[in-house]
Structure 1
Amino acid sequence: MVKKHLSRIYMGMIFIFLYAPIAVLAVFSFNESKSRGNWTGFSLKWYVELFQDGDIRSAFYYTISIALISAIVSTILGTIAAIGINSMKGKMKSIMLNVNYLPVVNPDIVTGISLMILYISFNIDFGFKTMLISHIVFNTPYVILSILPKLKQMDVNMTEAAMDLGATPMYALRKVIIPEIKPGIVTGFLMAFTLSIDDFIISYFTKGEGVTNLSIVIYSMARRGVRPTINALSTIMLTVVLLLMILINKRSSGAEKATNKRKEA
């Protein structure tokens, strides 16, 4: 009993240590004063100033554009790749899975520098295109990992039965496989979108002149001195990522409940 109480206290202290700074940042984004240690009154002026900043508006546009496009493309590529990997057998399947795991466990700085050297080697101009390709590259493995468990849970006989009844492989893909793995596809898309918004290191090495994202803007602003607008921008990004993570978790839990109900039936 004592051990259980101690473990709860330790967990509470850990959560306080992790989330207290974030809570302070969010609260002081509404502080009227520039001071980060003195509360002078509630105000939204830092949010107003934030959206009046042309550099931040530009970075916001590129962040959302790249996140949305890369999430869509990586979801399509990841879905196709996951279906292909799932259909493999033996050593080849193991090799492909390990190849997919490599970008996930690889440090971001290694991936960023590698992509930068690749673009330089092929004389590709840095800008929107290079950052978009980079985000697609590091997002796709996560989409594959989100979809593969759903493919493993799917009854193989359903596809075979559809084809025995005259369905073409493409029709079986659209009407049987895709609906069954749809929760994994949606989760993969949301995860790719979140990772793209949150990325800094890979974007930093692959950005071009005039093209940047919010993470890089926050870093640049912090180097010149932390301003209250950074608190406002960080709070907005935190809220967006938090909402997406809640949505991902809800969809995952809903998909698991639906799967369990089908198995019980």
Structure 2
Amino acid sequence: MRLFTWVRRHLVVFAGLLTLGYLLLPNVIVTVFSFNKPNGRFNYQWQRFSTDAWTHPCDVADLCGSLSLSLRIAVWATLGATVLGTLIAFALARYRFSGRSSAGTLIFLPMAMPEVVMAASLATLFLNMGVSFGFWTILIAHITFCLSFVVTAVKARVMSMDPRLEQAAQDLYATPAQTFWRITLPIAAPGIAAGALLSFALSFDDFVITNFNAGSTVTFPMFVWGAAQRGTPVQINVIGTAMFAVAVLCVLAGQLVGRRQKNRRRS
């Protein structure tokens, strides 16, 4: 009876752990097979343990080049989407103007429509304008796609802000610039950071929009797609494991910083 009661009390915890394990299982498999040394071209069956892929991650032709390109596009797309998205979020949350509701609807459309529709629309636009496909078309497409996610994250944070904090700063003779940099921006920073991280992940991982607007340019997801048809090299698992580890470290660092700030406020 006690065991049944204990299980019932912790049922939500068990369900959460099972769901988390199910979601992380592909990452575990990718990590394990990054230490595999297959006999043939396909890295689908475990053969023997090896660290060759970790010591020589760039042995596969064009892998590191496509990875570098994806990282550069992701960084610039993150910067562009974060700056534009933050400005749009503040405008939608703080100001009343004609067409405000229509603008909000248009901003959120990329999140609602399938990626293939947006990809084909952007490709048609670039073709009609006579723009050559390559780095810049991919970057513009990624900024357009990531913009909605930044606006959503930042707008939710701005709308939850207490306006009395800014009013108190103004009562203490703070200038509008001082109020923004010392009060508004630090409070909105978690939403901006969340939108930036989400933009980076979406841009780096995107395949559909990139495939329509890349031309002959090959990013890392496109390289993985092409390599899977000929035989997946172990180095792809190495890159995937490294990116997953970096993401986990960023999350842990954010949690650590948040806890320290809470402890300082309490003390």
TM exceeding 0.5:
yes
* CA shift in 2, pair 1:144/1:247, >3 Å: farther
Query: Matched residues in 1 for 2:180 and 2:11: separation?
Result: 52
For residues 237 and 70 of structure 1, what CA distance do their matches in structure 2 show?
18
Count of residues in correspondence between the two structures: 258
Moved more, 14-23 or 125-134: 14-23
Give the superposed CA RMSD.
3.3
Alpha-carbon distance in structure 1 between the residues aligned to 2:108 and 2:89: 13
| Unaligned 5+ runs, structure 1 | none
Distance 1:15 1:186 in 2: 24
Q: How far apart are the structure 1 equivalents of 2:250 and 2:177?
A: 32
The one-letter code sitting in structure 1 at the alignment partner of 2:29 is V
Does the C-alpha gap of structure 1 residues 104 and 220 become closer, same or farther in structure 2, counting only changes over 3 Å?
same
Q: What is the CA-CA distance between 1:208 and the residue it aligns to? A: 2.9
Write the mapping of 1:189-228 to structure 2, written as runs, cut at 5 A. Answer: 189-209=196-216, 211-228=217-234
What are the within-5 Å matches in structure 2 for residues 94-105 of structure 1? 94-105=101-112
Report 1:138-149 matches (<5 A): 138-149=145-156
Provide, for residues 199-233 of structure 1, a one-character-per-residue CA deviation record: whole Å limited to 9, x for no partner. Answer: 11111111132x32211111110011233233223
- One-letter code of the match for 2:235? T
- After alignment, is 6-15 or 211-220 more displaced? 6-15
Letter of the aligned partner of 1:38 in structure 2? W
Alpha-carbon contact 1:159-1:176 (below 8 Å) kept: yes
Partner of 1:38: 46
Please state how far the C-alpha of 1:138 moved relative to its aligned partner: 1.3
1:60 counterpart residue number: 67
> For residue 254 of structure 1, what is the aligned residue in structure 2?
258
Distance 1:49 1:75, change over 3 A: same
Counterpart residue number, 2:242:
236
Counterpart contact for 2:38–2:45, Cα < 8 Å: no
The CA deviation string for residues 6-33 of structure 1, in whole angstroms up to 9 with x for no partner, is 7766665555544334322211211233
Instruction: Show the counterpart of 1:51.
Output: 58
Alignment counterpart, residue 188 of structure 1, candidates 195, 199, 222:
195
- Matched residue type, 2:136: K
Letter in structure 1 aligned against 2:129: F
Of 13, 24, 28, the residue aligned with 1:23 is 28
Deviations 1:46-102 (A, max 9, x none): 234431334112111111111111111211111111111111349954443333222
Counterparts of 1:8 and 1:183 in 2: how far apart (Å)? 27
Q: TM-score, normalised by structure 1?
A: 0.81
Distance 1:7 1:161 in 2: 43
1:163 Cα deviation from its structure 2 partner: 5.0
Amino acid of the residue matched to residue 157 of structure 1?
R
Residue type at the aligned position of 1:37: Q
Distance 1:226 1:179 in 2: 44
Contact 1:163/1:169 (8 A) holds in 2: yes
TM-score calculated relative to the size of structure 2 = 0.80
Unaligned 5+ residue runs, structure 2? Answer: none
Q: Is the 8 A contact 2:58 2:235 kept in 1?
A: no
SS in 2 for 1:51: coil
The one-letter code matched in structure 2 to 1:45 is D
Q: Output aligned runs, 1:118-157, within 5 Å.
A: 118-157=125-164
